[in-house]
Amino acid sequence: MAGFQVFNRTTGDHFTCQEGQSVLKAMEQLGMKCVPVGCRGGGCGFCKIRVLEGDFECGKMSKAHAPPEAVEKGEVLACRIYPRTDLIIECVPLPEAALAKQTTTKPLR
């Protein structure tokens, strides 16, 4: 079968990603939720992951959420990476700003 296997080490999930498809889109299409989905455009930083093993191509990503230093370390946005090999990924804890957002929005419920 065509495509690449993506294994999420944090959650133990794995799914197939077709060539030319973003990791986030592949996950969403299979109804999985192991990476948070935001804008799907490399803009919001919600889908941040760390790639531990494997090769991929990168689309354009917001520098605020994927600065070059982080990309070097494999910290990328799942909506903007396209596997070239099988990948092993892990979830990256949301940055403080995002956590602050969540705590401020909680009392609103």
Partner 1 sequence: MKKGVMRPGHVQIRVLDMGEAVKHYTELLGMIETDRDDQGRVYLKAWTEVDKFSLVLREADEPGCDFMGFKVVDEDTLVTLEKDLVAYGVEVEQVPAEELKDCGRRVRFTVPSGHAFELYADKKYTGKWGVSSVNPEAWPRGLQGMKAVRFDHCLFYGPELAAVYDIFVNVLGFDLAEQVLDPEGTRIAQFLTVSMKEHDIAFIHHEEKGKFHHASFFLETWEDVLRAADLISMTDTSIDIGPTRHGLTHGKTIYFFDPSGNRNEVFCGGDYFYPDHKPVTWQAEQLGKAIFYHDRVLNERFLTVLT
Which residues form the interface with ligand FES (CB under 6 A)?
24, 37-40, 42-47, 77, 79
Identify what 63 binds: partner 1, ligand FES, none; CB under 5 to 8 Å per kind.
partner 1
φ, ψ dihedrals at 44, nearest 5°:
-105, -15
Residue 93 interacts with, from ligand FES, partner 1, none (CB under 5-8 Å by kind)? none
Taking CB under 8 A as the criterion, the residue among 37, 70, 71, 91 binding partner 1 is 37
Contact 59, 80 (CB under 8 A): yes
Place of tokens 């455009």: 41
The residue ranges that bind partner 1 (CB under 8 A) are 37-44, 46, 60-64, 97-98, 100-102, 104-105, 107-109
